[in-house]
Amino acid sequence: MSAEQTPTCIRGRYVDIDISKTEGNGSYTDSCQNHINFHKDDNKPKGYKKYAHTPRTGYYIGNISYNSNKQDGFPLNPGVSYYNKNVVVYYLRYDDDNVLPLLVVITKNQKSYEYYKKDDYFLTSNQWTREVGIRNDSKLSTAFSGIGKSLTTVIVLKIDQVTNGNYRANGTEKPPEANKDTQITVEGSAYKDVYKKYKHTPSGGINSLRILSTKKGVTSIPFDPPVYGTEYSEAHVYYWNGDSSHKNPLLLELKQTTSSYSYYTLSSISTTDKKWKPKSDIETSNIKDKLDRLNCENNGAHVIDISKKDTSGSYQCLTTGCTVSITFVNHPYTYYSRTLHSVFDDSIRRFKDEGTEQTGINSPEGTNQVYVFHYPKGPHGIPLLIYLPDSDKWYQRESLTSTKWTEVSDKKPGNAFSGNDPKIPRLLRDILPTVTINVGDTKVGGDGQSTTYDDTSGGITEKITLTRHDVKVSNEKTGYTNFTHCVQGKPYFMAGDIKYNTSLSGIPLSFILKSVIAYYSGKGPELKVDDLSLDDLLMVGLEKRGSDQNDYVYYGRRNGGSNWIVVSEKTKLESTSLTAKLKELKDEFAKKLTEKKKLPQSKANGLSGGEIAAISVPTVLTGGGLVGITIWKWPDIMSSLITRL
């Protein structure tokens, strides 16, 4: 458009008509304070509307402008021309913001009419040319027939069309009188799990769009500046998933027929004075970041980090650029911990777990407190349960690795605050079961075979899958055998106990596990599982939650003791590293057993029976008197010697 014009009006004589003036009380003044009235006639002819701008009696028309931009091609010259009746301008009836003037009529008197149309409606030129074949309104249909052929792509974008389907050029389901065949097709899809994207494409005989404005309900939202001069192949409207009523469109993406993109956001979220403004800092690579920021600003959708489980502290909303502060405090209970996240005078609407978006949690506007339950308590705890006190709703994670959450209905706890509600640990264990692993269970037929056993220690019955694998030292000999325990149908579990008849001392129970592996010393290819005993158990391996080779820790009994200690960690033992470690433990254990067997024989000169024969020791009173003989057994002698030493 051209620059703003220099006033051509003369006070009390020549007026400047601005054909963009269509609102207000039906009148306006030019820069010389001359008064002009305007009047609207709708649907004359059908599909169009017109506004007649009339100066006061005795005034002449000095200039025609649109939005203060001078329109060229009209025979107006103050002091020379004397057009004194009115100026009439025509628009499409569905051009709610009157951004595209189509036809201008100027009159000298009651019988002299001149009709002008634009040379090109979509160029930046403001040049108008007279239609000499039209002398009165009876020929208007001819003029609009020609104009209409160039307007088939001119549409109003219906941004509240949020179901798959079609709408018409006027942004409604009913076609307008002008441009009856044009249609726009809408398809919705998810965007980055957090947003909804609605694609608008041309149909009904057209392959491009020229957008006058957008419409939401009955409200028209214009562009500033207008965009109808550019052809678009698609338009994309973005909403947040949590905006169920589609109240706040966040971003409008327009794809040009040249495949380049332009982006627009609303200048205001108030119900008045909304306009689409271009945003030069948005591009395809940063749409998600910009949507997050707009979501914070327009929907108050602040993001909390549900992985927080320190004692207490604060952090900023996880949206880049947002400075809203969120406080948190953690309270540990017997089996789990609970973290309260709070925001002052704002809303918590979105959730991330260590940067990963979580979905399915409907947090209404005004939610300023959220309780997150971690299981187990301590540094390995995973957020598995969320409570929203404002709406009294509970959400449970679908699985330990899932980003999706579902609302709890029939198992909903009654009290989130006491720590005594049994439904809370039950819900947590639904996702992450706590079981007792019996490494003494070796009742599996052969190499590669599996069986199951039931465990009820966590309050519900879980099936433990037990799989046997023989580790061969040579092609002929089975050197070792391992038994892998995991929970059927659950990728992870907590070990409430790891036992062989009784608990194995020294193995921690705080890890989230994939499996527990018990390694036994083999007894040749004829191995029978009934032959295995605690003395054959060399090592217990824990495969922890994780995705790499560093999530393993192995426990053994150094010197054959009863306490289990770490013998290898981080790296997974397999192949030669596994057999080498098992041989090392087996040799140490065998050596210790040998020493235990030899010790009493050497001390007791061959006395047998597992208990050394009694030895007579005279008891002497002070002063040298002999009183009697005391009978000592070998363990008592050793104990006495140790005490004296």
CA separation for the pair 103, 93 (Å, rounded):
13
Are 116 and 45 in a shared domain?
Answer: yes
The range of the structural domain enclosing residue 636 comes to: 615-644
pLDDT band at 187 (very low <50, low <70, confident <90, very high): very high
Rounded Cα distance between 180 and 207, Å, is 16
Report d(CA 545, CA 381) in Å as an integer. Answer: 12
Q: Is the pLDDT of residue 640 over 60?
A: no
pLDDT band at 380 (very low <50, low <70, confident <90, very high): confident
Q: What is the predicted pLDDT for the residue at 99?
A: 96
**Rounded Cα–Cα distance for residues 255 and 267 (Å):** 21
User: What pLDDT, on the 0 to 100 scale, is given for residue 609?
Assistant: 39
| CA distance readout (Å), 35 to 21, 39, 55, 68, 466 | 13, 14, 6, 16, 94
Residue 643, pLDDT above cutoff 50: no
Residue bearing the bigger pLDDT, 68 or 636:
68
Long-range Cβ contacts of 146-153 (<8 Å, 24+ apart): 147/102, 147/103, 147/117, 147/121, 148/178, 148/179, 150/121, 151/92, 151/102, 151/121, 151/178, 151/179, 152/179, 152/181, 152/182, 152/205, 152/206, 153/182, 153/202, 153/206, 153/208, 153/209, 153/210, 153/231
At 645, the pLDDT band (50, 70, 90 cuts) reads: very low
User: Over the stretch 599-611, which tens digit does the pLDDT of each residue have?
Assistant: 655 444 444 333 4
Q: Is the dihedral of CA 637, 638, 642, 643 positive or negative?
A: negative
Give the tens place of pLDDT for each residue, 457-485. Answer: 878 899 999 999 988 777 656 689 999 99
Q: What angle do CA 414, 417, 423 make, to 5 degrees?
A: 40
Provide the pLDDT confidence category of residue 79 given band limits of 50, 70 and 90: confident
Looking at residues 423-439, what average pLDDT do you find?
94
- Percent of the chain surpassing pLDDT 90: 67
**pLDDT of residue 616 exceeding 60:** no
Q: How far apart are CA 519 and CA 573, in angstroms?
A: 12
Considering the entire predicted model, what is its pTM?
Answer: 0.77
How many domains, in total, are found in the chain? Answer: 5
Instruction: Give the mean model confidence (pLDDT) for residues 16-44.
Output: 91
> Of 263, 281, 297, at which residue does a domain stop?
297
Q: Are residues 89 and 173 in the same domain?
A: no
For residue 2, being part of any structural domain is answered with no
User: Greater confidence, 7 or 513?
Assistant: 513
- What is the full DSSP assignment across 31-91? TT--EEEEEEEESSSTTEEEEEEEEPTT-EEEEEEETTEEPBS----TTT----S-EEEEE
Tell me the sheet residues that pair with 195. 191, 240
- Is 608 within a domain? no
Residue 539 pLDDT greater than 50, yes or no: yes
- Sheet order of strands, 348-353 included: 302-305, 348-353, 356-358
What per-residue confidence (pLDDT) applies to 13? 86
Same structural domain for residues 54 and 125?
A: yes
- Please check whether residue 598 lies inside any domain of the structure: no
Q: Look at residues 394, 399, 434 and name the one whose alpha carbon lies nearest to residue 412.
A: 394
Q: Are residues 582 and 438 in the same domain?
A: yes
> Is residue 7 one of the residues assigned to a domain?
no
Query: What SS3 state is found at 270?
Result: coil
Where is 282: in which H helix or E strand?
A: none
Q: What is the pLDDT of residues 207-257, one digit of tens each?
A: 999 999 999 999 999 999 999 999 999 999 999 999 999 999 999 999 999
Residues 222, 198 share a domain = yes
The CA-CA-CA angle for residues 11, 12, 14, to 5°, reads: 75
The H or E element containing residue 237 is strand 232-240
| Same domain for 267 and 227 | yes
Same domain, 575 and 502: yes
Is 604 within the bounds of a domain? Answer: no
- Of 129, 149, 169, which residue is a domain's last? 149
| Whether residues 270 and 401 fall in one domain | no
Q: Under the phi-then-psi rule, with left for phi > 0, alpha for psi from -120 to 50, and beta for the rest, what region is 588? A: alpha
Is residue 642's pLDDT more than 70? Answer: no
- For the cut 50, the answer to whether the pLDDT of residue 626 exceeds it is no
Averaged pLDDT score across all residues of the chain:
87
Cβ atoms of residues 335 and 428 within 8 Å: yes
pLDDT band at 560 (very low <50, low <70, confident <90, very high): low
The answer as to whether 9 is a domain residue is no
Task: Please determine, for residue 573, whether its predicted confidence score (pLDDT) is greater than 90.
Answer: yes
pLDDT band at residue 622 using 50, 70 and 90 as cut-offs: very low
pLDDT score of 107? 85
Whether residues 368 and 312 share a domain: the answer is yes
- Co-location of 571 and 438 in the same domain: yes
Question: Is residue 515 in a domain?
Answer: yes
Mean pLDDT of 278-295: 96
Tokens of 181: 């065949």
Q: Is the pLDDT of residue 1 over 60?
A: no
The continuous run of DSSP H or E covering 506 comes out as none
Whether residue 304 sits in one domain with residue 348: yes
* Domain assignment present for 6: no
Q: Are residues 514 and 390 in the same domain?
A: no
Report the pLDDT value the prediction gives residue 57, as an integer from 0 to 100. Answer: 87
User: How far is Cα 410 from Cα 407, in angstroms, rounded to an integer?
Assistant: 10
